[in-house]
A and B are shown apart, each in its own frame.
Chain A
Amino acid sequence: MSDLKAGLEAYLTELWGAPTAVTNLSRIPGGASRETYRLDADTGGVTRGMILRRDPPGSLIDTDRRLEFLAYRTVHGHAPVPQAIALEEGGGALERPFFLMERIDGGTVPSPFVFDPYGEHAQALGEQFFTILGKLAALDHEGTPIREATQAPAPEDCWRIALDHWSAVIEADEQHPQPVVRAAIRWLYRHPPPPAQRISIVHGDYRTGNFMHDGAGKILAILDWEMAHLGDPIEDLGWAFDPLWNHFDEAKVGGLIPQAEAIAIWEATSGLKVDPASLAWWSLFNAVKGQAIWTSAAREYRDGGFTDPILAVSGWYTARRHDLILASRLAALEAI
Chain B
Amino acid sequence: MTPALPDILRGNFLCLAIPGPPEQQGEFMATRVGVVALLSLLAAQEVERGTTARVWENDAIAAVLAEAAEVYGVQYAEVAQTTAKDLSLEALDRANAALRRGLIALHEAVENAGDLPRHQAIVGLYGQMADNRRLDLPPLPAR
Interface residues of A (CB under 8 A from B): 2-5, 25-30, 37, 110-111, 113-117, 175-180, 182-183, 186, 190, 248, 298-299, 301-302, 305-310, 312-313, 315-317, 319-321, 323-324, 326-328, 330-331, 336
Contact = CB atoms under 8 A, between A and B. Distances in A.
Interface in B2-35: 2-3, 7-8, 10-12, 14-15, 18, 21-28, 31-32, 35
B11 A301 contact: yes
A298 B3 contact: yes
B106 to A, nearest CB: 9
Contacts of A183: 104, 107, 122-123, 126
Contacts of B27: 26, 28-29
Please classify the interface of chain B as helix (H, G, I), strand (E, B), loop, or mixed, using the class held by over half of its residues: helix
Nearest to B30: A29
Contacts of B123: 183, 327, 330-331
Contacts of B36: 309
Contacts of A309: 11-12, 15, 32, 35-36, 39
B130 interface: yes
Contact of B97 (A176, A308, A323, A324): A176
B129 A116 contact: no
B7 A302 contact: yes
A310 B2 contact: no
Please classify the interface of chain A as helix (H, G, I), strand (E, B), loop, or mixed, using the class held by over half of its residues: helix
Contact of A312 (B3, B26, B28): B3
Nearest to A330: B123
A5 B42 CA distance: 36
A116 B140 CA distance: 9
Q: Which of B1, B21, B119, B124 has the most CB of A within 10 A?
A: B1
Given A302-B2, A307-B18, A320 B116 contact: no
Contact of A330 (B7, B93, B114, B126): B126
